[in-house]
Structure formats: C-alpha cells, structure tokens
Chains A and B, each alone.
Chain A
Amino acid sequence: MLLQLEDVVLAYGKIEALHGLTIDVEEGEVVALIGANGAGKTSTMRAVSGVRGIQSGRIIFQGEDVTKLRADQRVRKGLSLAPEGRGIFPGMTVVENLDMGAYTRRDKPEVGKDFDRVFDLFPRLNERRKQIAGTMSGGEQQMLAIGRALMARPKLLLLDEPSMGLAPMLIQQIFTIITEIAEQGTTILVVEQNAKQALSRADRAYVLETGRIVKTGTGADLLDDPSIREAYLGVA
C-alpha cells in the first residue's frame, strides 16, 4: 500500500470538514476522489499534503506514519501536490516555477531529464519558458502546476481539480496527459468535480459527500452506477 488514510478528521476551527475519512491508494494506481462542491475534496488534499494538520486519524505513506510531518517534509518523502486553481508562483517565470518543483532535489542531471519530460508532456510550457507565470492563461497555469509537481519526481502525484475553470477541449487534453503520466509509472490520486472524466480514467474511485466516503468501486463500475449517474453525471 502506497498511501493510507485512517479515520482522518479535519476541522477548520469548530467546523469539521472531514469526519473520519478512510482511503487507500495502491502503487501504480490512478485513484479518483469525486464529489460536489464543499464535499471535502480539497480538504482531503490539504490533509494528505500536510498543508493543514488533522485533528485525529492517521496518514500512512509507504508504511511510514507521516501524520505529524509538515508539508515540506512530506515532499521529501515523495508526495507532491498540484494545488487547485492558480497554485503557481505568479511572479516567477515558467522555468523558475519548474525549478521550484525540484527544490528538494540535488541530482542535477536527473532534474534536467525531468525538465525534458515535462516539456515533452506540455510543449506549450516549452514555448513559454521565460514567460512570467501570472500572465499565462488558466489552462497554461494548470499545466504548469502539474508539470511543477512532476519535477519533484514524486512517488505519489496529488492533483487537486485539474480541470477547474478549463474549456471542455482543454479538460480532455489535461486528462489525456494525466493518463500518460500514470502510464509512465507515477501513482496518482486525483480529486475532481468532473466525475465523467475522472471515473473513465481512474482504476478506482471514492465518492465523497459532506466529508464522508459514501461509495467506492472501480471507475467503470461507478460510471455505470445509476445513483452516481444521476447525482454526478447529469443523466437519469
């Protein structure tokens, strides 16, 4: 097991956002976490990445309890998050942003290879190397956020709403790239509002409702599940 969440409770002040979440991710899988706005998707990502501490429960990564580790320490363990929306450094160039992704790494030649890999996956970023990231379009910023997360060469890539605010064409494109990243051997946990895309690309998925897991199964099974179709896919 690569990642295990055991009874994770996360609260903002007195308001509980996650009421005892249990999730696991096997090595090599693409696992999706779907749910409506406010279901706790981003809170789950904050808990796993360590941006926010949790109130109770445990987070185990590669058999090691990382619950008490800070976000920057978890990066060193191999967890890397592409945050939701515009989670890039707006004042830095594309290359500087990618460099930040490799902040913890000392293996320069390998970092160079990952630069090539990211530019391969996202030719757009290659064209815009010197551009100040804040001046790019939403789609390009999203690509940068994913590319930057890959620069850490993570064992587990966490993607928070990679499709948010993007045009349908671009959503398709981003998910194709995500599938490609998975095929290259990176395990992925992706949180998505776009259930159709997420479920059709994921090996397994969890359905999150108001801070609780209400359903789990393979991506294909959930795609066929009538209640899921009604609630998340807009088909009766």
Chain B
Amino acid sequence: MDFSSLIDQIGEHTANGLTKGAIYALVALGYTLVYGVLRLINFAHSEVFMVGTWAVLGVYTVLGATGGSGVGLVILATALAALAAVVASASTALIVERVAYRPLRKKNAPPLIFLITAIGCSLVLVELFGHVFRVFFGPPFGRALVSIPSLIDTEVWLDLGKTSITNMQIIVVVGAVVMMVALDTFVNKTRLGRGVRAVAQDPDTAALMGVNQDRVIMLVFILGGAMAGVAAILYTMNYDITKFDIGFLIGVKAFTAAVLGGIGNLRGALVGGLLLGVVEVYSSTLFSSNWEDVTAFVVLILVLMFRPTGILGESLGKARA
C-alpha cells in the first residue's frame, strides 16, 4: 500500500486514469449501442477496435510518416490515419453485422447462437491479423507486438506544479468527449436518432411508425464502429503500439465500463469508462500494476451488487436529457 505516492501525485494519476478511461468509454459506446438495439453483446467489437489500429499503421507506412517528418506530413498523416481508422472500424463492424448477425436474425436464432457467433467473429478477425495476413503479406502481421511511429512528440501543455498534463492526454480526453457529445446529440435530436431510440424501446412499434429496422441496426453498427475507430487513432497516438490481439483486454475493459455505467446507456458508457480508467490507475499506484485488472473487476462486482443496472441504469431508448 503506497498511499503517500497516490496522494502526492493525485493529479497526475487522475489525468492518466482519465486518458485511459476515455479510450474505454469510446469503445464502450459500440457495446452499448448494439446492446441497446439488439440485446446482443457483440464480442467482435474488440476486434473492430483492433482493425482501426492497424489502419493507422497502414496509413503511416504508406505515407512514410515518422517522428522526424515535417509538420505538413504529420498533419496529413494524422488526419488520414484518423479517417482510415474510422472507415476501417466502421466497415468491419458493418461486415460482421451483414455476414454473421443478419442471417441469424432472419432465421430467428436464439440468443445463445448470436453469442457464440460473436465470439467466432472475434476469433476469425484476430487470426486474420495474427496468422492469415502474415502468411500472405509477411510482417508486421503476426503475433508480435508492433510499434507505430509516434508522429507528435509528447509535450507538457499544462504545468500545475506537481501535476503536468501532456498534449496527448488533452487530445485523447477532448477527442473522446467531443465524439460522445456528437453521438449523444445525434441520438437525441435527429430524426434517424429518434428511429434508433424507437427500435431500442420497441422494435415492432418502431416498424409501425415506418422505421426500417435493418437500416437502424446497420446504422448502430456503423456508429459504434466509427467510435471504436476514433478510439483506435487516439490509442495509437498515445501508446504507439498495436498487436493482433490488442483488442481483447481493451474490449473486456470497455465492456466492463459499459456495464458499470449501465449497458444500453450512452452517457453511462462515458461515466463507466472514465471511472474504470481512474480506478485502474489509482489501484496500480496503491498496490502494483499487477493488481489493476483485479481492482477493476472488484469495482464492477461491487457496483453490480448494489446497483445491478449500472450507475446510470436505463436503456438507450430511455436515455435522454
């Protein structure tokens, strides 16, 4: 137990925790959106994030962007990488929906079949990057950790005495919050968003209003995928790595964050993600980094014991101002 270190550096640890948590929150949105509309835990969502990180690496490689590149190239490469990550992740999510889930829906498959299919999709995607692509294209595909060039140097932007906030931390947290506000506004204020909420509340009645359910489901996968793509660019900018199975632990944590905040609730994903990130960093300081996952799940279990619907509870359909 190292209380003094935690207290002494509380600002620093909180900033680290929020940065971590913002990534969890963005990925958590994908779980929560799909769950809200389909009551399905899309276990392939962790790989939707993973594909996004590889898209970032792909763009940097093609453009030859590295840490020493000029400002113009850095801006271009970052913007293109962000776009590529969003497109790659959203497409992956959409393909999984069209190829795997929709045919099952048409056959009225029971929920367990969806769950197993989701795990299957996750494994297929992992093995594509961990094995199949290596056979065809060679490295960097495969099972090794891959480093991604760090285009922007980490600098201290805010010096508050004991606490110094870096540019990366600000970019990650601000980026994540902006995306969340945009998504929340879309779902609550637009016609299509209202369609999403209608399907989440009552699919049959939504159809009676003229809402095309398949289109709403596709939209939800695209939105969730796009958010995972944003998470991917922010993650790679901050941590400079990827791996074939990088989605696994982040996916599990993001799913935890979604449940913690109240699955099906967009704002719950934000609350759950940030809380989980902070708890993890605090606990790794208090005990050791080996304890961070344990603590995260202990918190989840405690919250669910006293509030089974998560911190904010409510469903996507009901979540509103």
* Chain A residues packing against B (C-beta within 8 Å): 49-51, 70-72, 75-76, 80-81, 83, 87-92, 96, 99-101, 103-104, 148, 152
Contact = CB atoms under 8 A, between A and B. Distances in A.
A95 to B, nearest CB: 11
16 contacts: A71-B208, A72-B208, A72-B212, A75-B207, A83-B208, A89-B202, A90-B318, A91-B201, A91-B320, A92-B320, A100-B211, A101-B209, A103-B191, A103-B198, A148-B209, A152-B210
A104 B197 CA distance: 15
A89 B198 contact: yes
Interface in B184-234: 191, 194-195, 197-198, 201-202, 204-213
Interface of B: 191, 194-195, 197-198, 201-202, 204-213, 315, 317-318, 320
B198 A100 contact: yes
Contacts of A103: 191, 194-195, 198, 209-211
A92 B201 contact: yes
Contacts of A104: 209-210
Contact of B209 (A70, A75, A90): A75
Contacts of A87: 202, 205, 208
B317 A72 contact: no
Given A90-B318, A92-B320, 8 more contacts: A72-B210, A75-B210, A80-B208, A87-B205, A92-B198, A99-B194, A103-B210, A152-B210
Contacts of A71: 204, 207-208
A89 B203 CA distance: 10
B159 to A, nearest CB: 46
Nearest to B202: A89
A89 B317 contact: yes
Contacts of A88: 205
B205 A83 contact: yes
Nearest to A101: B209
Given A92-B197, A103-B191, A103-B195, A81 B210 contact: no
B59 to A, nearest CB: 38
Contacts of B320: 91-92
B194 A72 contact: no
